[in-house]
Structure 1
């Protein structure tokens, strides 16, 4: 029952209490709201995630509720997957804005994100399932079959796998030991794959330039400051992203805000390079997958108690860390425009929330 569908993602990051959120509270179901979407996307592409993640969306056909029974789905999965329900259309739009178009999920459909997910994966690796009236039980069986097709090293929240609940105490103990060993092996494999990807990227960067591409700046070729900065962004993106990854991590359209260029006047080359590395990650969307960057809403107050800043043209404000574990370290802020492009705003200290 796989499906493929596309639509334009509409940025929408706030919503009133929804029927799905009320259902989630009643049934004890995990519910993902729009402001939780950045962390949820981090979870999807977290290389240390060991269990499948089943994403359930809502449908206007059912008053913005899921088309599938959440308790029935969870019971059928036997604890072998994590289940998440989007709180409504706003959450679906916010998620679509952060996922490749091939994985847009909405209208009551369900998608299974398997472990070790990457943006470069083909669409079919993380299948989508339509829920048709009168065929909900069939859809649950299909989802369950897909989840159970992966090696059964997944444990429940209690840390005990379904296989380890056999009546024979010694057998249960041996099964649990096996589960522990397989889980540790899976974690080692995930870490090895991550290290391999990072090493390949570093080799490609250095091989492609003949210099230390991890710290060098492109040469100065334009007298105009904006043209030069755009040139540097393009070159650093080419250095840092191997050719095989560029289709999955393209630079989205962008422009400079009124305060952006001023920061780059007179700063040290190494500092300039550090900032531009982060700029390329923000423009590709990869920054959202780097835990230390902490991509988040840019609010009207630095303490996080205020709502997200939204401009008159509908652009939404975002920020990320430039350095970690340093409260006074500078942050990068930008606007996300309604067409999906970005407007780079400012580099400023943590407590400076100004953004034009």
Structure 2
């Protein structure tokens, strides 16, 4: 006797009333089969979920519906307005498992989107696997599709359930891996955004600082001493916290006859460093900074040579602006007996002139 198997069918939802009825049916406590909804885009697309394959493979174990993206899908979405993220339209597909837990836990009813032919194949496969998972979760057997005659044969239900369980386990592992990949991608994206914001912030600060320097340069174009004193004061206000400004106030200082001319040959970076070290000298911080290698200038290369001292008792000191090169710069300054400072000059490492 020939086995007669009726081909699974699907239901076309083509009116707003039918769409609302379907939405209400999803929450029917007596519903015993998963609902598979495949929508069609409003305009022709290059990739579509293979509705024929979906119907053939799972139409016997789930209820398959087709819906156009139109006022019909809008009515369906409106009927589900209390449960954001559960709608389906625009060529996407979705499986609604038995029960209503999916309305709160969206991962139980993932939306399968389609943007290309390749994605359509993947979405079709995913939708079929979603349906099998929903059937398995509901405790249904996939062994006997509707329409098999009494004398027909069917697959062994035990084998089907075992295969289905293995497939679900595989998909669970794959899904876990994808979630990990997604989380890592989100972290990388967040880090990249923060890094860009930091770079943009620094760039903005650099532009502002450059604009301030240019404005200052114009303001003191004819008075290099006032320009230098202004730069030192600004560097001090930025370098020293408000709570320490009284303790680390700028000492009284004067400029030696050759000091400003020794600055003229410096690059912008070298001049900025000279200003920074000047702040350290005037606040006394320089004595605690090993990198400045502060020491008195001596009259000879020997460590026992006498220090360079003026008749008023002031001693000439050196502080390093740069390191490990004969062209490294040194700040020479006089420290008077009353603690006041006279900035003498900026010299090369091997230049021992006061």
Name the TM tier (shorter chain).
0.3 to 0.5
TM normalised by structure 2 equals 0.39
Larger radius of gyration: 2
Greater relative contact order, per chain length (Cα 8 Å cut-off, separation 6+): 1
TM normalised by structure 1 equals 0.39
